[in-house]
Amino acid sequence: MTRFTVNGQPVHYRMDPSTPLLWALRDASNMTGTKYGCGAGLCGACTVHIDGQAVRSCSVPIGSIEGSFVTTIEALSRDRSHPVQQAWVAENLPQCGYCQPGMIMAAAALLESNASPSDAEIDAAITNICRCGTYPRIRRAIGRAARIMKGEETVAAAPPPGIDPADAARAVPALDSRSTE
């Protein structure tokens, strides 16, 4: 029986202590924002924060984090107002999106420890794999998030989850009704 805190809520997992945190979060707590990628701690899709540090959850047995505080993408900011999330949207970063929760969690941890990282520092700290190759945009988004966190730049909050498709359609400008002849 393992006890720790997930997203501010105490949890008590009655699972084998060697169970990877990733599976406890996804299967027992239904927190599916943390993604399974490689299962070997190499790709970073499963990155969460444990006591404020970015950690690959597929490589952490739940028995090893007794009493710790875990934060997943679901609790980074419930309304997507975290500066990293805002910068991600402002830079039109995601393509397939699969790696994005882990990337965002890694970037948020980096910016908590280094408010103005250089490109080299970003490259060294963010070792997550993006199969779409959006690394230049990731660097730009992290730089933008740093400026947002310091109050040097503002952007509108990311759209809330669950936008009604009809509402999204209204946001697209209507086609010009004039003839093209």
Residue 117 and residue 64 in contact, taking contact as beta carbons nearer than 8 Å: no
Q: Is residue 159 part of a domain?
A: no
Q: Is the pTM of this model over 0.95?
A: no
- 118 and 72 both lie in a single domain: no
Residues in the chain: 181
- 61 and 100 both lie in a single domain: no
Residue-level pLDDT at 123 = 95
Residue 128 and residue 102 in contact, taking contact as beta carbons nearer than 8 Å: yes
- 49 and 16 both lie in a single domain: yes
Output the domain CATH number for residue 68. Answer: 3.10.20.30
Report CA torsion sign: 158, 164, 167, 171. positive
Of the chain, the percentage scoring pLDDT greater than 70 comes to: 86
Give the model confidence (pLDDT) of 7-35 as tens digits: 999 999 999 999 999 999 999 999 999 99
- 55 and 110 both lie in a single domain: no
pLDDT band at 38 (very low <50, low <70, confident <90, very high): very high
Q: Is residue 20 part of a domain?
A: yes
Residue 93 and residue 135 in contact, taking contact as beta carbons nearer than 8 Å: no
Domain ranges, residue 92: 83-149
Give the model confidence (pLDDT) of 104-122 as tens digits: 999 999 999 999 999 999 9
Residue-level pLDDT at 163 = 54
More confident residue, 145 or 96: 145
Residue-level pLDDT at 161 = 61
Q: Is residue 53 part of a domain?
A: yes
Output the domain CATH number for residue 118. Answer: 1.10.150.120
- 101 and 124 both lie in a single domain: yes
- 59 and 96 both lie in a single domain: no
pLDDT band at 158 (very low <50, low <70, confident <90, very high): low
Q: Is residue 98 part of a domain?
A: yes
Q: Is residue 155 part of a domain?
A: no
- Point out the domain boundary residue: 46, 76, 106: 76
* Number of domains composing the chain: 2
